[in-house]
Amino acid sequence: MRPVLVIIIAYLLGSIPFGYLIVRATQGADVRETGSGGTGATNVSRRAGKRAGVITLVLDVLKGAAAVAIAKLFLGLPILGGVRHTGPSLATLGGNNLGEHVLIGHLGSPEDVYWWWVAAASIAVILGHIFPVWLRFRGGKGVATGVGVFLMLAPIAVAIAALVFVVVVTLTRYVSLGSILAAVAIPLFVLLQHEFIRPIESLAPIISAAIAGAALIVFAHRENIGRLIRGTESKFK
């Protein structure tokens, strides 16, 4: 039951609509009626000012990081890296001997199984941000929450992706384009970090989460992509 609980907690954390709540409290308005219609920091800045946008950004990053930290804690994995599992056995988590052998056979070592659950929680928190149950599944783009997730899983890759974001936004003034390109680059940078800088614990689950997270973020930006193609996307001032 613990792995299932981990995913539920991650989704509910992601569903906390900080941007919506901040704009509702300060402006008495629905931030989704502004600009791109999202609940993220950029749209909050347009409606309630840059200070509110920064607060939203920080809180959205923190909920992504918190979801990964809670998942690791529940599963007995070191929160800030490490290789040794100290938590309960798979059977204790609700499995049995047959299920354990099946999982290990398909996903690798017992350690890898726990990392696949962490990867699932990572995807769940991003899903929660994009499709929050509290706002009838209409939320943000998932970028800041994804940053929080991968700061916990592959911080060097996030730092390089952040550089991509800054360069693209500086040159084009399109936050959406910078976000899309940085998100798509994360899986590549995860692989490069693993090969050339510092090995990443259980690479397959982490890079799978990076690919899934990038796909979700691109999907959430589908309207922005349309506006970019038409040349009608709003630039950040």
pLDDT above 60 for 98: no
Mean pLDDT for the stretch of residues 173-183: 96
Distances (CA, A) of 17 to 41, 74, 131, 216: 11, 24, 10, 17
Distances (CA, A) of 16 to 53, 103, 141, 192, 218: 16, 32, 13, 33, 21
CA distances from 106 to 92, 124, 166 (A): 19, 21, 39
pLDDT value of residue 91: 46
Per-residue model confidence (pLDDT) at position 110 = 61
* Per-residue confidence (pLDDT) for residue 108, from 0 to 100: 53
Paired tokens of 177: 């384009």
Task: Quickly count: other Cβ atoms within 10 Å of residue 96's Cβ.
Answer: 10
Predicted pLDDT at 109: 58
- Structure-block tokens of residue 13: 């954390």
Each residue's pLDDT tens digit, 133-175: 999 899 999 999 999 999 999 999 999 999 999 999 999 999 9
Cα–Cα distance between 189 and 195 in angstroms, integer? 10
> Which tokens is 65 given?
């990081």
Mean pLDDT, the chain, rounded, equals 87
What is the pLDDT confidence band of residue 81, given thresholds at 50, 70 and 90? Answer: low
Dihedral of alpha carbons 176, 177, 181, 184, sign: positive
Q: Which residue has the tokens 């936050």?
A: 175
Task: Please give the single-letter amino acid code of residue 138.
Answer: R
Whether 84 and 177 have beta carbons less than 8 Å apart is answered as no
Diameter over CA atoms, the chain: 58
pLDDT band at 101 (very low <50, low <70, confident <90, very high): very low
Q: What is the pLDDT of residues 185-194, one digit of tens each?
A: 999 999 998 9
The DSSP annotation for the chain comes to: -HHHHHHHHHHHHHT--HHHHHHHHHHSS-GGGSTTS--SHHHHHHHH-HHHHHHHHHHHHHHHHHHHHHHHHHHT--TT--S---S--TTTTT--HHHHHHHHHHH-SHHHHHHHHHHHHHHHHHHHHHS-GGGTT----SHHHHHHHHHHH-HHHHHHHHHHHHHHHHHH--HHHHHHHHHHHHHHHHHHIIIII-PPSSHHHHHHHHHHHHHHHHHHTHHHHHHHHHT-PPPP-
